[in-house]
A = this chain, B = another copy of it.
């Protein structure tokens, strides 16, 4: 695998070699059969596969793709309140494109530097057709853990950032493959594309929520679907108030039904949704200011009653919103 090794060496061996640390950290990087790291706490780990044509367009900017491949994994650490330790990267490529690799590795390393999450190992190989990116992240956590099954009746439901932009950008990119976008649509794409292609993992927020939240999840598949996991696993029910949902500024001019779909069901968001006791609402407001991240109360946790769905959404007239598809199913649809 000379080709592979040269490739890895050239673009992904910045942390290669031995770097012994006495406390938490990387003991052995890219160079041996395994990488080695150490921690005085528990290890949280997650891995996500990104497949060309399913999770990203073939012509996506490789710099943002490198960023996003790591970001979606760091987002899982954020949802556990974990501090990043290190990551592994697996890359299957149908061909070697040095320009692509160079840009991809730059995007990856920029984010790994930002969150002190060094690349310590992995695997690069050939694929027959698709680019496949597999990242594994490790973070430190200590109990009590920020889990999905601890939401309590009476909790306020919060979401970070603004919703809907990533979904809108995705729809516009689909459309642009079929026909030319109008000037308004092109402008809307400019204003929403960053949210889709360069999501920011909410690492600091996740860590800060350890003393405040009962249950946390990151929104990868859509607010309704992901909040639904908290509700199902906690055996509770959510009331969401549509007029409270933080809508991305760029979407303000869109029709209500489009906005609703984007905000409630749009995936690829990587904001955190969490539930916290009402007594912490003021602290959460202070935290939002401190971190410079909007945190919005969007509903409350109520008792589940038999046969009810796990989430009820009310419009501004307090009428129940008819539920639409909950989120993006990779096996039901395809890019």
Nearest-neighbor residue (CB-CB) of A39 within chain B:
B43
Nearest-neighbor residue (CB-CB) of A17 within chain B:
B149
- Chain A residues 254-301 with CB under 8 Å of chain B are none
Is A132 within 8 A of B132, CB to CB?
yes
Number of copies of chain A assembled together: 2
Complexed CA–CA distance, A221 and B49 (Å) = 25
- Chain A residues 104-163 with CB under 8 Å of chain B are 120-123, 125-130, 132, 134, 136, 138-139, 141, 145, 147-149
The stretch of A63-71, A242-250, A326-334 in contact with B is: A326-334
A212 within 8 A of B: no
Identify the A interface with B (CB < 8 A): 1-4, 7, 27-28, 31-39, 41-49, 51-55, 76-77, 79-80, 82, 88, 90-92, 96, 120-123, 125-130, 132, 134, 136, 138-139, 141, 145, 147-149, 216-218, 221, 225, 233, 326-332, 334
Nearest 8 CB-CB pairings of A with B: A3-B331, A33-B79, A134-B134, A129-B129, A34-B44, A53-B128, A49-B90, A126-B330
Residues of B close to A91: CB separation below 8 A: 49
Of the candidates B33, B76, B126, B134, the one whose C-beta lies within 8 Å of that of A76 is B33
**A34 with B139, Cβ < 8 A, contacts A48-B90, A330-B3 known:** yes
Residues of B close to A33: CB separation below 8 A: 46, 76-77, 79-80, 148, 216-218
Nearest-neighbor residue (CB-CB) of A78 within chain B:
B33
11 contacts across the A-B interface (CB closer than 8 A): A3-B332, A32-B148, A33-B148, A33-B217, A34-B79, A35-B45, A38-B43, A47-B88, A51-B128, A128-B129, A132-B134
Residues of B close to A221: CB separation below 8 A: 1
Nearest-neighbor residue (CB-CB) of A132 within chain B:
B132
Is B330 within 8 A of A1, CB to CB?
yes
Residues of B close to A37: CB separation below 8 A: 42-43, 45
Centre residue among A80, A90, A122, A134 by max chain B CB count within 10 A: A134
Centre residue among A48, A128, A327 by max chain B CB count within 10 A: A128
